[in-house]
Amino acid sequence: MKNTKILYLHTFSSDADHVARALEKNGLPFEFRLVNNDQSLLEECQTFQPDLVLVDDSFSASDEWNAMQIAERECPDVPVILLSDEIHESELAEVIRLAVSVQQGQGEDGAHRLHQTNQRMLELIGTIEDGLITLDCAWRITYANLPAAQFIGVLPGELIGRNLWEQFPALLGTPIETHYRAVMTQRIPVRFEAKGVMTEAKYEIRVHPSSEGIAIYAINITERTRTETQLKQLNQALEKRIQELEAERMRWQGVVEGIADEVWICTPDGKISLINLPSVTPMGLEEFENKTIEELYQEVDILNLDGTLRPVEDAPLLRSVQGKIVRGEEIMRHRETGRLRYREYSSAPMRDAEGKITGSVAIVRDITDFKTAQAQIAQLARFPDENPYPILRISSNGLIRYANAAAAPVMRIWQLVAGQPVPDFWRALIDRTLASSMPKELVEQAEDRTYHFTLVPVMPGDYVNVYGIDITDLKRAESELARVNEQLAERAKQLEDRNSKFALLNKMGGLLESCQTLQEAYRVIAEFGTLLFDGDCGVVYRISNLHDQTETVTAWGNPPVCLTDNMFHPDQCWALRRGQVHLVQNVETGLVCQHVLRNVELGVVGSALCIPMLAQGEVVGLLQLQSQINGIAVEKQQLAETVAEHLALVLASIQLRETLQEMAIRDPLTGLFNRRYFAQSLERELHRAKRHKRQVGILMIDVDHFKAFNDTYGHDVGDMVLRSLAEELESQVRKEDVVCRYGGEEFAVILPDASLADSVERAEQLRQHVQTVTLSNLGQPFVNITASFGVAIFPQHGETAEKVLRASDVALYQAKSSGRNRVVSANPI
């Protein structure tokens, strides 16, 4: 009997010895050749010309398939058998005898059993999770397992024998066709990524040349890609931490250089042989290298996500030393400090070349910030339910899909619950909103409250979001204004019935009622004041909304005699201080108001009368009369009181209008004054400073990294940052200072009577205070803010508002470009 030539493709030499012993034991003459890669297999098939080819199944599924393809191509008449590590020696000899008998044509039973062996190989390949397709040189599909068919979107049986390009013409002209043809012609493997033909799944495609054509492996990487995308979005909040770890990585030298995650290596006896810098920094575990896992567990508690304590014997590194691959999440708590860190770990055994376990390694990622971000996202998701104003979602068919708790009054008026259709009037309004794709507005009463509703269509027109704002107080203010106007009209009517002495006053009242602007009213008051108080001069002052300033609005007679100062504090007037008429018949003996003293010293006034103008019990202005002679007649006093009362109603009406116009000078988000009011206030302060030869400080403030807040946490958190900064700034400045939102994330502060040193000092105090503020949501702190400050002074940095603002803006830019979170003053002109 001649020797049987056996070519054996194996991984370990011990496997080849096992086969050789089996052959010798069963008395089979043989000649053995061993190869351990595809190239050696190809060469030996051509030179050795074996009678039998054995393939060890310790290779990966793709490597086994390539090897069998090479053997079948180079040795077409030679049996190729796949061996398992678990096969007994007698079974191995039987398989070899069967293969020899098939080669020599000895019996159908042997061929049948060989067919079963090859069928076992196909079944094994069919169990792999990756897709596998083989094509012959005519581009016919010769094999396709189930994952491959799912990748294409058909059943496996529908593919066999089909021409690839005829079955899937959409692939023609695509990069996929280019790759496939390159492998078929050049016989060089390629790898690329592509989407499924009939699905949205993403695959990594590996194409290898085979004996009959090409073999295509499709590895589904959809979940991995999706996970990477989600992690990228959520890990933006960790960008700063990653940069810090990157800096640490550049300094790291050693075995784990370049790894940003924690790396723990453990010996078989449970000793920690290596931990990298990210492993020790968060919890201060530097001293635990070369100590045991048990010693580590004496310093920290490892908790499961449900809060239960994990015993030391369940430590991932110790379990991996026993040969297990362990993945999961855990909480590490430092016993001394109580600090908690969420960690995601993956632990696996380490083996030597012979497969013996030499220890274990764990890769750990700190996911504390990720968990915090998850919790914050969950909190933001509850925002509609926690909103104090009504929010509803109504579908295109009129059904109420959602209503928060604040919408309960509306739902009660409608006598509806979620899931029911809205009233017909609302249904028609929703139809118009969706048809126009434009928001609609509606005011509706719900119980004792009045709401302003805004209907916002959500494209492509499936539903409408309804946002309600409580405008009850605004409506009441409008009613109050109407009521005051009615009182003014009634008072004018009463004046018409007075005697001839008040006819002129009635005419003035009629003209005042016709005035459309404040300037018109001032001219009327000045004209009739001259006629009513002939020989005396008079001034009408208006009290500011903050009741901290009295300002001249009009004057008559001989103004240089009357006017002492266009502005003064209300406390400087006895009438305003007491809320009663204050008469000084003789300035030399009477109690003279402070704002009249200068005229007394100049000798241009003999008597003075100050009458507070009251409306609805509130002082809104002051009417002042000054006479060059001593004594003011009782009739003139009564007339002045009547005029003051009449003017008070006019000013009250104006003040109510200003209340309604408050939104024009207030920023709706922060409640601070807006840019328009800032410009007006700055001009006023500069004018006053120029007259009194004083200085005015200007602070320009910008929130650092505000775009990162918006990108990371969303615009709601960005708005929270702006509101919080506004509250802190307003709480830290003086009463006379003016804080405004200048635009976007930029704020401005006017500091009257402040030098450059004072302004820089105030800016530094504000900066230090801002950086100590921690924002929180539902009592949970989650972010700190900082701000950059630019400081400029009038007139040192400019004699106009425009120049001073430009100087402060340049200083702010220097503060941000030099590192942020700092104060920079402008350079003097």
Closest CA to 136 of 36, 55, 236, 69: 69
Question: Distance between CA atoms of 49 and 78, rounded to whole angstroms?
Answer: 9
Q: How far is residue 107 CA from its own chain's centroid? A: 75
The half-sphere exposure of 413 on its side-chain side, counting CA atoms within 13 A, is 14
CB atoms within 10 A of CB 192: 13
Backbone angles phi, psi at 36, to 5 degrees: -130, 15
Tokens of 505: 């006053």
* Residue entry with tokens 């599909």: 141
Helix (H) / strand (E) containing 709 = helix 706-713
Question: Distance between CA atoms of 763 and 814, rounded to whole angstroms?
Answer: 15
* Residue entry with tokens 């450059």: 756
* Residue entry with tokens 């048809």: 435
CB atoms within 10 A of CB 145: 22
| DSSP reduced 3-state for 818 | coil
Closest CA to 813 of 801, 824, 800, 802: 824
The 3-state secondary structure of 260-292 reads CCEEEEECCCCEEEEECHHHHCCCCCHHHCCCE
Q: What is the DSSP letter of 309?
A: B
Question: Distance between CA atoms of 225 and 204, rounded to whole angstroms?
Answer: 11
Question: Distance between CA atoms of 347 and 358, rounded to whole angstroms?
Answer: 14
Q: Give all strands of the β-sheet with 746-752 in edge-to-edge order.
A: 738-743, 746-752, 696-703, 787-794, 823-825
**Which value, in Å, is the radius of gyration of the alpha carbons in the chain?**
45
Question: Distance between CA atoms of 623 and 615, rounded to whole angstroms?
Answer: 13
Q: Which residues are catalytic?
A: 745
Closest CA to 180 of 219, 136, 149, 211: 136
H helix intervals, 349-400: 368-381, 383-386
